[in-house]
Amino acid sequence: MSLKHVLLGCLYKKPATGFRLKQMVDGSISHFWSAELSQIYPTLKKMQQESLVTCNAGTRDKVYHITDTGRGELLQWLRSPTELAQQRDAFMVKVYFGSLLRDEEVSRVIDDCGRRHRARIAEYTEALELGNSMLKDLSPHEVRDFRIKLLTLRAGIESEKHWASWCDEAAAEVAQMTAAVAKGKGEKGAPIRA
């Protein structure tokens, strides 16, 4: 369970309520992880049982603090090797079975997806520029921390660019198939290249 580690990371430097943690997750973390409050609250309870966090409950708020056990758990996890995530990509499923559609329909679905990725590039790029502009006001220690966090944004932008350009290439390939069929049926075309 990795939400646990997200919450430990958020709590590492300062205590927070479940509600506040949700807001952190909805910030820059949302680019690669998300969680609902209805998932966060039970998770915090479980983490308390595992002594990863303690809870200072006031009248109104329940403020969670990370424990030494929690710090240890997070650091150990951060150092551990990362299995490549088994990804489920509904869009790839669509492409894989896309030959059931006519060429124009395949192209449309691919182009539509490309447009979505391009919108994200713009969004992430803006966030990165904002982040870079904030570097100058930070202390040397904060700078390192912040620069490392910005690397995740770069990854997001590059990933979106990769997908946007794949969509362009794939749409072009499909268009070429249409053209090949129009000319002469026997065409096999050039091999698909990486």
Partner DNA sequence: GACATCATGTAATCCGTTACATGATTTT
Partner DNA sequence: AAAATCATGTAACGGATTACATGATGTC
- Judged by the rule CB under 7 A, the positions of this chain that interact with DNA are 1-3, 17-20, 34-39, 41-42, 44-45, 59-63, 86, 88
Calculate the CA 154 to chain-centre distance.
Answer: 11
CB of 146 to DNA, least distance (A): 23
DSSP per-residue codes, 18-34: HHHHHHHHTTGGGGT--
Q: Which of residues 54-93 bind a second copy (CB under 8 A)?
A: 74-75, 77-79, 81-93
3-state secondary structure of 57: strand
Binding mask 127-166 for a second copy (x = CB under 8 A): -x--xx--xx-x-x--xxx-xxxxxxxxx-xxx-xxx--x
Q: Which residues contact 37 (CB under 8 A, 6 or more apart)?
A: 18, 19, 22
Q: Which of residues 7-26 bind a second copy (CB under 8 A)?
A: 9, 12
3-state secondary structure of 63: strand
100 contacts a second copy (rule: CB under 8 A): yes
CB of 23 to a second copy, least distance (A): 16
